[in-house]
A and B are shown apart, each in its own frame.
Chain A
Amino acid sequence: ETGVTQTPRHLVMGMTNKKSLKCEQHLGHNAMYWYKQSAKKPLELMFVYNFKEQTENNSVPSRFSPECPNSSHLFLHLHTLQPEDSALYLCASSPQREEYEQYFGPGTRLTVT
């Protein structure tokens, strides 16, 4: 058990749909992250939140909209996605100290049809 949960675990959506991914961490961390993991590509950082404030947007298209209502919850709102957005979306959290690792959730496997 990692302490970071994500729902749903699997999602299939059409290009015109709107859906949201949810992440919750039970570790008392102040930083949360969204990553994208595509087949045969490196894990790619999308967004970073510290104390509910977005501090990093790694040039992510606006069809991905993050939301962090508190330090324990993180959402990724999806709309008008493209088939190339199909990937594993991983959430992570960490203490806000550089010597600490990031703890990952199990991910949401997204398929855009």
Chain B
Amino acid sequence: GQNIDQPTEMTATEGAIVQINCTYQTSGFNGLFWYQQHAGEAPTFLSYNVLDGLEEKGRFSSFLSRSKGYSYLLLKELQMKDSASYLCAVSGLNTGFQKLVFGTGTRLLVSP
């Protein structure tokens, strides 16, 4: 089976940097996604990691270590609009790339 763990809630200050961790156990790993979901809205894609290392995209970066079953999402220069839930999702090699397993999400609160 697959299991995804991420912190339930985090708080940070506007302008700061925050790192949201995600650990996973899968029977075969295919890729890892990060999504952002504002309250009452659809999840939107942030990043996709399939190889080890850091993927940078503007203020957001995502890191993957397949050997450790670990990923993090790094958000720099935090803005109030970054207050949202951040969902980590994994696709397993044995279950196919379309069957994403999601964590419960990390609710990030950015304060002034």
Task: Give the contacting residue for B104; candidates A31, A40, A106, A107; CB below 8 A.
Answer: A40
Cβ–Cβ contact A2 & B100, under 8 A: no
Q: Number of residues in B with C-beta < 8 Å to the partner?
A: 25
> Does A43 have its Cβ within 8 Å of any Cβ on chain B?
yes
Cα separation A40 to B8 with both chains bound (whole Å): 9
> Does B44 have its Cβ within 8 Å of any Cβ on chain A?
yes
Task: Give the contacting residue for B43; candidates A31, A94, A104; CB below 8 A.
Answer: A104
Residue picked from B43, B45, B103, most chain A C-beta under 10 Å: B43
Cβ–Cβ contact B100 & A45, under 8 A: yes
> Does A84 have its Cβ within 8 Å of any Cβ on chain B?
no
Contact A106-B41, Cβ < 8 Å, known A43-B87, A99-B31? yes
Cα separation A50 to B99 with both chains bound (whole Å): 12
> Which residues on A are within 8 Å of B, measured CB to CB?
2, 4, 31, 33, 40-45, 48, 50, 55-56, 58, 90, 94, 96, 98-99, 101-107
> Does B102 have its Cβ within 8 Å of any Cβ on chain A?
yes
Contact A43-B102, Cβ < 8 Å, known A99-B31, A106-B41? yes
> Which residues on B are within 8 Å of A, measured CB to CB?
4, 30-31, 33, 35, 41-45, 48, 50, 87, 89, 91, 96-105
Chain B contacts for A31, CB-based, 8 A: 98
Chain B contacts for A41, CB-based, 8 A: 104
Cβ–Cβ contact B100 & A102, under 8 A: yes
Chain B contacts for A2, CB-based, 8 A: 42, 44
Q: A43-B43, A48-B98, A56-B99 are in contact. List 7 more A-B contacts (CB 8 A).
A: A33-B98, A40-B104, A56-B96, A58-B99, A94-B98, A104-B35, A106-B42
Q: Which single residue of chain B is at the shortest CB-CB distance from A4?
A: B42
- B88 → chain A closest CB, angstroms: 10
Cα separation A104 to B35 with both chains bound (whole Å): 10
